[in-house]
């Protein structure tokens, strides 16, 4: 999807953040010089000495903990965001914020300002704590979990039923089946400052198992060799560009190895790019779809690349576009010989007049798609970032992101729904 309008991606590069203030503990130990004190006074003095000793020990331990806290790397943040909020601060102000923030929380703050002119309350607290005026024209992002009024939408060719909020803030979900009772849900979330990995039952009672850092827009497929291979967006530290990467993921989704760039980089500030969707093709090769723009003003296009081998590491571009005219967030939900199906959303460029909605398309080969240009979700809200697993031949369990149909900073809440096809 169009990353400039989301807090993610503003989240393309999220970390688990911890923000802790420091406090100096001063201990004054008084010694009594009264040699004529009573026995009770001596006992009291002894107890006070023990307490003082314990307090001193506690103070030393706190001091050691504070010494171990790493300052935020302001220079690293400025290198990535040279015209960001921090660039306007004095050295003294930067030093103060560095003491109470983390590098990744400051990067996330700069992304929020750049993309949505909004930051979290704890990020605004950095300025308050350091007695720095708040950044101008910036709003505090607050999450509202209110449900849309419409919970279903029907067309002649497809319908969405039982739209239900999961009560979780997030974007770019990826859903996979673990077994007949358990699902695994990945999603990027500013609440966890990274990519959450959750286990859920089929009623979507979910529990976060861990958080993956420094990546966004993950999808995972299993190759013919039985390897769980993930595809995601990450900043290449060697080129300072965004790229789609692949890596081998563990069975629980909590770790990965053998990370490799696919070799289709763009500048790190390219807004309408990414959201890769990987799919195992009938012939065993892997195809990756993602959003692309020829410039920063034209409507988004969907492009793809196909792996050279079944290992899914080296790719070549497929000629042409899969779809153009602003369709984004491509999700192939079925890829069988002669029978491909996909969901997608629409650009936020024309909101609120044209809300983001889900759309449905079919194909015989995964390259040429027949798009039905009629939305399948209600118009009162915007809906994007679909992911789905099959329940049977005509029914799919869908997780998607919903948000108010407004421009600027807005809440992004995960929803679940059932897709019913003819």
Quote the CA–CA distance of 245 and 247 in Å, as a whole number.
7
Residue 339 belongs to domain spanning: 143-420
CB atoms within 10 A of CB 285: 18
Please state the domain count of the chain: 1
Would 416 be classed as within a structural domain?
Answer: yes
How confident is residue 143, by pLDDT bands cut at 50, 70 and 90?
low
Calculate what percentage of the chain has a pLDDT beyond 70: 81
Over residues 280-295, the mean pLDDT reads 94
Model pLDDT, residue 144: 57
> Mind giving me the DSSP string for 283-325?
TS-EEEEEEE-SSSSSPPEEEEEEESSTT--SEEEPSS-SB-S
Would 82 be classed as within a structural domain?
Answer: no
Over residues 184-194, the mean pLDDT reads 93
Phi, psi of 211 (to 5 degrees): -135, 130
Would 112 be classed as within a structural domain?
Answer: no
CATH number of the domain residue 251 falls in:
2.115.10.20
pLDDT score of 391 more than 80: yes
For the full predicted model, state whether its pTM sits above 0.75: no
Would 265 be classed as within a structural domain?
Answer: yes
Model pLDDT, residue 194: 92
Per-residue model confidence as pLDDT tens digits over 151-179: 999 999 999 999 999 999 999 999 999 99
Over residues 244-273, the mean pLDDT reads 91
Over residues 347-353, the mean pLDDT reads 89
pLDDT mean across residues, the chain: 83
Phi, psi of 39 (to 5 degrees): -60, -40
Are β-strands 327-336 and 339-346 bridged in parallel, bridged antiparallel, or unpaired? Answer: antiparallel
Would 136 be classed as within a structural domain?
Answer: no
Q: Nearest 5 degrees, angle CA 342-CA 160-CA 348?
A: 65
Report long-range pairs for 57-65 (Cβ below 8 Å, ≥24 apart). 58/25, 59/25, 59/27, 62/23, 62/25, 63/25
Would 26 be classed as within a structural domain?
Answer: no
Would 185 be classed as within a structural domain?
Answer: yes
Model pLDDT, residue 235: 87
Would 8 be classed as within a structural domain?
Answer: no
How confident is residue 236, by pLDDT bands cut at 50, 70 and 90?
confident
Per-residue model confidence as pLDDT tens digits over 54-111: 444 444 444 443 444 478 999 999 988 888 899 999 999 999 999 999 887 898 888 8
Quote the CA–CA distance of 138 and 124 in Å, as a whole number.
9
């Amino acid at each position: 999807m169009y990353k400039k309008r989301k807090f993610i991606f503003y989240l393309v590069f999220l970390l688990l953040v911890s923000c802790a203030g420091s406090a100096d503990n001063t201990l004054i130990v008084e010694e009594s010089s009264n040699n004529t004190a009573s026995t009770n006074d001596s006992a009291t003095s002894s107890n006070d000495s023990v307490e003082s000793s314990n307090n001193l020990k506690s103070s030393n331990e706190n001091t050691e903990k504070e010494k171990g806290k790493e300052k935020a790397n302001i220079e690293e943040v400025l290198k990535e965001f040279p015209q960001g909020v921090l660039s306007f601060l004095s050295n003294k102000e930067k030093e103060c914020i560095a003491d109470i923030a983390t590098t990744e929380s400051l990067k996330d703050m700069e992304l929020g300002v750049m993309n949505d002119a909004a930051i979290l309350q704890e990020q605004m607290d950095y300025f308050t704590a350091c007695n720095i005026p708040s950044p101008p024209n910036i709003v505090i992002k607050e999450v509202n979990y209110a449900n849309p009024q419409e919970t279903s939408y029907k067309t002649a060719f497809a319908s969405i039923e039982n739209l239900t909020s999961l009560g979780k803030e997030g974007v770019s979900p990826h859903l996979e089946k673990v077994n007949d009772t358990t699902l695994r849900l990945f999603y990027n979330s500013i609440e966890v400052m990274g990519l959450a990995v959750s286990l859920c039952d089929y009623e979507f009672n979910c529990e976060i198992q861990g958080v993956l850092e420094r990546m966004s827009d993950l999808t995972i497929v299993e190759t013919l060799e039985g390897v769980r291979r993930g595809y995601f967006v990450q900043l290449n530290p060697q080129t300072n560009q965004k790229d789609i990467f692949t890596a081998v993921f563990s069975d629980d989704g909590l770790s990965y190895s053998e990370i490799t760039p696919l070799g289709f980089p763009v500048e790190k500030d390219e807004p309408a790019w990414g959201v890769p969707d990987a799919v195992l093709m009938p012939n065993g090769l892997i195809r990756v779809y993602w959003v692309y723009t020829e410039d920063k003003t034209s409507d988004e296009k969907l492009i793809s690349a196909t792996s050279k081998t079944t290992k899914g590491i080296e790719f070549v571009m497929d000629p042409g576009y899969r779809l153009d005219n602003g369709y984004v967030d491509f999700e192939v939900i079925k890829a069988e010989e002669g029978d491909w199906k996909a969901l997608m959303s629409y650009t936020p460029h024309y909101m609120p007049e044209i809300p983001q909605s889900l759309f449905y398309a079919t194909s015989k080969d995964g390259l040429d798609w027949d798009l039905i240009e009629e939305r399948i979700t209600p118009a009162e809200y915007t809906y994007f970032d679909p992911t789905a697993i099959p329940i049977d031949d005509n029914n799919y369990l869908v997780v998607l992101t919903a948000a108010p149909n407004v421009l600027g900073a807005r809440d992004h809440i995960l929803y679940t729904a059932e897709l019913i096809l003819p």
